[in-house]
C-alpha cells in the first residue's frame, strides 16, 4: 500500500516559510511583495483559482490585487493593462489567469509580461532559461511536483521518469526539471504508442493529461512514485485525477491524492516564486544603485 503524499501539509510548510521571507522583504525594503492577477471574463473555475491565490498572498503578508476585465475586452485593452503593471515599481509578480475567453490569444500577453515579473514562468525567456539549465522563473505546478518528490525522499538520479502530457504549463517543464535532476525522462502524449507499457517502466510517473482516471493502477510499476497533476470533474461533480487512485495506491510506493496533492502545492510555489522575483528585482536594483 502506497504512502499518500499530503500536499496540503507540505504546502502549509512552504507557505509559512514564504510568509517569513515576505515579512523580511517588507522590513528590509519598506514595502510588501506585490502580486497582481489579471483575469478576463467570467470562467467560474478561473474566478475560484484567482480568489484562492489572492487570499493566499494576503495571508503570506503580500500586497495582492486582482484586475478583472470583461469577457468582451479587446487584446489591446488586455495588453495595455499588462503594460501598466510591467511599469509599476510596487508590482513584483504578474499572473494572467488562463484560459482567456475566445477570441483572445494567450500568446501576445504571455510574451508581454516582463520576464522578471513573470510569476508563472511562461514567458519564452524563462522557458528558454529552464531548457538551458539557467536560473529564472519556473512554472509553479512543475516546481510543486519536484518539491513533493523531494519531500517524499524519492531518489531521482538515474530513475526512469515518465511524464504523460506535454503542455508548456506542466508536461514539458516538469520533464526538463526531472532531466536536470538526472532522471532518464520519457515524455508521452496523445500519439504515444503503448502508454500502458511505458507507464509500467516508470520509477517516477507524472500524469498531466486532463482525462479522468486514464492511467489504470494495474499499469503502475510496483514501488513507483506517482504524482497526479490531473484535475477532472466527473458528472456528479467529484474531482478525480488522471490516475485511477484506488488501484494505483495498491502498487505505488508513494502517491498524491486528488484533491489535496499537487493542487495546494501550485499555490504555495506561486507565492514562493513571487518572493523570489521581488528579492531578485530588489537586489538587482540595489546593485545598480550602488
Report the residue number, 101 or 210, with the smaller CB distance to ligand NAP.
210
Report the residue number, 154 or 195, with the smaller CB distance to ligand NAP.
195
- CA–CA gap between residue 253 and residue 159 (Å, rounded): 14
* 120 catalytic per annotation: yes
211 lies in the site for ligand NAP, by CB under 6 A: yes
- CA–CA gap between residue 254 and residue 225 (Å, rounded): 5
Cell representation of residue 133: 539549465
- The active-site residue, picked from 54, 92, 97, 172, is 97
Residue choice 13, 88, 155, 189 for contact with ligand NAP (CB under 6 A): 189
141 lies in the site for ligand NAP, by CB under 6 A: yes
- Give, in order, the Cα–Cα distances in Å from 8 to each of 15, 32, 129, 260: 10, 25, 29, 6
* 147 catalytic per annotation: no
* 97 catalytic per annotation: yes
**Burial of 234 (C-beta count, 10 Å sphere; 0-12/13-18/19+):** exposed
50 lies in the site for ligand NAP, by CB under 6 A: no
257 lies in the site for ligand NAP, by CB under 6 A: no
Least distance to ligand NAP, CB of residue 272, Å: 14
Q: Which stretch binds ligand NAP (CB under 6 A): 14-22, 103-111, 230-238, 274-282?
A: 230-238
Report the residue number, 41 or 144, with the smaller CB distance to ligand NAP.
144
Least distance to ligand NAP, CB of residue 173, Å: 10
Residue choice 21, 39, 166, 221 for contact with ligand NAP (CB under 6 A): 166
Residue choice 95, 188, 255, 277 for contact with ligand NAP (CB under 6 A): 188
Among 22, 110, 84, which residue's Cα sits nearest to residue 58?
Answer: 22
Residue choice 97, 126, 266, 272 for contact with ligand NAP (CB under 6 A): 266
**Interacting residues with ligand NAP (CB under 6 A):** 141, 164-167, 169-171, 188-192, 195, 208-211, 214, 229-232, 262-263, 266
Amino acid at each position: 500500500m502506497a504512502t499518500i503524499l499530503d500536499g496540503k501539509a507540505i504546502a502549509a510548510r512552504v507557505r509559512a516559510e514564504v510568509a517569513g521571507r515576505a515579512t523580511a522583504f517588507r522590513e528590509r525594503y519598506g514595502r510588501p511583495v506585490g502580486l497582481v492577477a489579471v483575469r478576463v471574463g467570467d470562467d467560474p473555475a478561473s474566478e475560484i483559482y484567482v480568489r484562492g491565490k489572492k487570499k493566499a498572498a494576503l495571508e503570506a503578508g503580500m500586497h495582492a490585487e486582482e484586475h478583472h476585465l470583461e469577457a468582451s475586452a479587446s487584446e489591446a485593452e488586455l495588453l495595455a493593462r499588462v503594460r501598466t503593471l510591467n511599469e509599476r515599481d510596487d508590482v513584483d509578480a504578474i499572473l494572467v489567469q488562463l484560459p482567456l475567453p475566445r477570441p483572445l490569444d494567450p500568446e501576445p500577453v504571455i510574451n508581454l509580461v516582463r520576464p522578471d515579473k513573470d510569476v508563472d514562468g511562461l514567458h519564452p525567456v524563462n522557458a528558454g532559461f529552464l531548457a538551458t539549465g539557467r536560473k529564472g522563473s519556473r512554472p509553479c505546478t512543475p516546481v510543486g511536483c519536484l518539491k513533493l518528490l523531494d519531500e517524499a525522499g524519492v531518489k531521482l538520479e538515474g530513475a526512469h521518469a515518465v511524464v504523460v502530457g506535454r503542455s508548456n504549463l506542466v508536461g514539458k517543464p516538469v520533464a526538463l526539471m526531472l532531466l536536470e535532476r538526472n532522471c532518464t525522462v520519457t515524455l508521452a502524449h496523445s500519439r504515444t504508442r503503448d502508454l500502458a507499457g511505458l507507464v509500467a517502466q516508470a520509477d517516477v510517473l507524472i500524469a498531466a493529461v486532463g482525462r479522468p482516471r486514464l492511467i489504470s493502477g494495474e499499469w503502475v510499476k510496483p514501488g513507483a512514485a506517482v504524482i497526479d497533476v490531473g484535475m477532472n470533474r466527473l458528472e456528479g461533480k467529484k474531482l478525480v485525477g488522471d490516475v485511477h487512485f484506488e488501484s494505483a495506491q495498491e502498487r505505488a510506493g508513494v502517491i498524491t491524492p486528488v484533491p489535496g496533492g499537487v493542487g495546494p502545492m501550485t499555490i504555495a510555489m506561486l507565492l514562493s516564486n513571487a518572493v523570489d522575483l521581488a528579492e531578485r528585482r530588489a537586489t538587482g536594483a540595489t546593485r545598480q544603485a550602488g
